[in-house]
């Protein structure tokens, strides 16, 4: 049985951008209101602002690995500032 909090095929979320550069191998993360964290692989550099709230559409990546172990890696399909 799969974890119910796993990122679905494609998902629309409201997230807060977290500057996680202090964690080994991490850059910026997304954090949802329920505490889920994920690593965006293609976040627009203009949106790399700690605390910025976004509405995003993401999908999980396939066959990619990262040394940042703060959450699953996701591809950003769209992002809008709130």
The pLDDT score that the predictor gives to residue 63 is 86
Please give the average pLDDT of every successive group of 10 residues along the chain, which has 82 residues: 54 95 94 96 97 96 90 96 96
The pLDDT score that the predictor gives to residue 5 is 52
Thinking of the domain 11-81, which architecture would CATH place it in?
Answer: Beta Barrel (2.40)
Domain ranges of the chain: 11-81
Torsion of the alpha carbons at 9, 10, 16 and 20, rounded to the nearest 10: 50
The pLDDT score that the predictor gives to residue 6 is 54
The pLDDT score that the predictor gives to residue 11 is 80
Of 1, 4, 2, 8, nearest in space to 74 by CA? 8
């Amino acid at each position: 049985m799969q974890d119910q909090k796993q990122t679905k095929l494609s998902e629309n979320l409201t997230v807060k951008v977290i500057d996680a550069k202090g964690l080994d191998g991490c850059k910026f993360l997304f954090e949802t209101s329920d505490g889920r964290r994920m690593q965006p692989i293609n976040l627009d550099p203009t949106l790399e602002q700690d605390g910025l709230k976004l509405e995003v559409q993401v999908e999980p990546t396939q066959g990619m690995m990262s040394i940042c172990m703060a959450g699953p890696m996701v591809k950003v399909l769209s992002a809008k500032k709130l």
